[in-house]
């Protein structure tokens, strides 16, 4: 395949400062491949990166950014024989070392040398050898690029569900789960939990997003106000008013973390999935945690295994992931797409290589 000399890409220069530039198209070296990006989706992390002008782990400005991507192989480096030019692939945004103790224990998301990949809001992405070898995935037949690009957030959600010990808690039958936050991650939680037959109560201040949650399988929705203090109201919506066995925060708001903790019943589990700003702390009711035997977990990122499962789930026509896609924009309108998310006018926007 003949490659152009330059490509268009959205360059993050600082807080809320994006420039769409023409930059050189990279050539893959040994073990690498070049992905032609067919679809990239925006997410809440992109919004945080845009607003803060960087990320302590994932990237440093100035840089191309965006990390949810699907595309086709544009060129292969020396030694890459697993894939062929033109083959449709999804590239995960991280690659573990597989050698450190967390990796050996199946905790690749906590890899001591976890490498990240950004640059999805561009025409091409150079995929390093470690990613080619350890976290590159074929797109199932018939799965469109824009839906395949949702594999990254869904892989995070499936990792979060694994942390909920669903099989243990569901020994007596389907669970009742309270979910705080109806952004894209929260809605993917709703869809994935409902697909397993669990009863999900979704709480969020946005009526439109609650309606999307109902379409994705939420059994009940609660319109709450911002700022927390909603635990009592949400708990009354559980079957017996005593709380849910599992509560998940997908808001990343400290006050809502407290609501999630206060919404589970004795013996329940709280999954604090939504990441709060650095330096944030919350007070814990030690009496409640101790005497009610509440399990509190923090959950981060995804693993190669959950990435594979995410693609399989997205390929299921019954999984209505298209409800999360709020239209498409060209690379030149990346900033407008992120601002639409900030204004709650969009859930996720597909950035296309037009």
pLDDT 10s digits, 92-123:
999 999 999 999 999 999 999 999 999 999 99
CA distance 174 to 287: 29
pTM of the predicted model as reported, rounded to 2 decimal places: 0.96
pLDDT at 146: 98
Distance of alpha carbon 50 from alpha carbon 5, whole angstroms = 28
Mean pLDDT of 318-323: 97
Are 18 and 9 spatial neighbours (Cβ–Cβ below 8 Å)? no
Q: Does position 273 have pLDDT exceeding 80, yes or no?
A: yes
User: Do the first three CATH levels of 6-150+302-352 and 164-298 match, i.e. the same topology?
Assistant: no
Q: What mean pLDDT is predicted for residues 186-201?
A: 97
CATH architecture of 6-150+302-352: Alpha-Beta Complex (3.90)
Buried b (16+ CB within 10 A) or exposed e, 23-36: bebbebeebbbbbb
Residue (of 37, 65, 69) closest to 52 by Cα position: 65
Pairing relation of β-strands 325-330 and 348-352? parallel
pLDDT score of 225 more than 70: yes
**Of residues 125, 18, 120, the one with CA closest to residue 66:** 120
Q: How confident is the model at residue 173 (pLDDT cuts 50, 70, 90)?
A: confident
146 phi/psi in degrees, rounded to 5: -65, -35
> Would you place residue 171 in the very low, low, confident or very high pLDDT band (cuts 50, 70, 90)?
confident
pLDDT value, residue 71: 98
**Whether residue 69 has pLDDT greater than 90:** yes
148 vs 35: CA distance, rounded Å: 14
Residue with tokens 């925060």: 249
The stretch 158-179 carries a mean pLDDT of: 94
What percentage of the chain's residues is helix, strand, coil (to nearest 5)? 30, 30, 40
- The residue whose two tokens read 């999805």 is 120
Query: Residue 2: pLDDT band by 50, 70, 90 thresholds?
Result: confident
pLDDT of residue 353: 82
Provide the percentage of residues in the chain whose pLDDT is more than 90. Answer: 95
CATH topology of domain 164-298: Rossmann fold (3.40.50)
Q: Where are the domains of the chain?
A: 6-150+302-352, 164-298
Evaluate whether 217 touches 190 at the Cβ level (below 8 Å): yes
């Amino acid at each position: 395949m003949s490659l152009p000399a330059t490509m268009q890409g959205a360059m993050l220069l600082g807080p809320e400062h994006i420039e769409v530039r023409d930059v050189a198209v990279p050539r893959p070296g040994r073990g690498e491949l070049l992905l032609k990006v067919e679809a990239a989706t925006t997410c809440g992390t992109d919004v945080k990166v845009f607003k803060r002008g960087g990320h302590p782990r994932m990237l440093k400005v100035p840089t191309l950014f965006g990390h949810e991507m699907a595309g086709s192989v544009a060129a292969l480096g020396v030694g890459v024989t697993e894939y062929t030019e033109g083959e449709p692939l999804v590239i995960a945004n991280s690659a573990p070392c597989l050698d450190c103790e967390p990796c050996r224990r199946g905790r690749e998301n906590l890899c001591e040398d976890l490498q990240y990949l950004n640059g999805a809001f561009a025409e091409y992405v150079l995929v390093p050898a470690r990613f080619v070898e350890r976290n590159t995935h074929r797109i199932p037949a018939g799965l469109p690029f824009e839906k395949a690009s949702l594999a990254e957030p869904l892989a995070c959600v499936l990792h979060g569900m694994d942390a909920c010990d669903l099989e243990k808690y569901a020994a007596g039958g389907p669970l009742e789960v309270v979910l705080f936050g109806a952004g894209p991650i929260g809605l993917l939680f709703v869809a994935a939990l409902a697909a397993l037959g669990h009863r999900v109560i979704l709480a969020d201040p946005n009526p439109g997003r609650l309606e999307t949650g109902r379409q994705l399988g939420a059994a009940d929705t609660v319109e709450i106000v911002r700022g927390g203090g909603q635990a009592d109201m949400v708990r009354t919506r559980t079957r017996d008013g005593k709380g849910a066995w599992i509560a998940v925060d997908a808001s990343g708001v400290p006050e809502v973390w407290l609501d999630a903790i206060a919404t589970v019943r004795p013996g329940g589990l709280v999954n604090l999935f939504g990441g709060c700003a650095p330096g944030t702390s919350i007070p814990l009711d030690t009496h409640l945690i101790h005497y009610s035997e509440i399990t509190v977990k923090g959950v981060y990122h995804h693993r190669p295994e959950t990435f594979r499962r995410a693609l399989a789930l997205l390929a299921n026509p019954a999984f209505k992931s298209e409800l999360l896609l709020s239209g498409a924009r060209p690379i030149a309108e990346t900033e407008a797409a992120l601002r639409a998310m900030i204004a709650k006018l969009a859930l996720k926007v597909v950035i296309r290589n037009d």
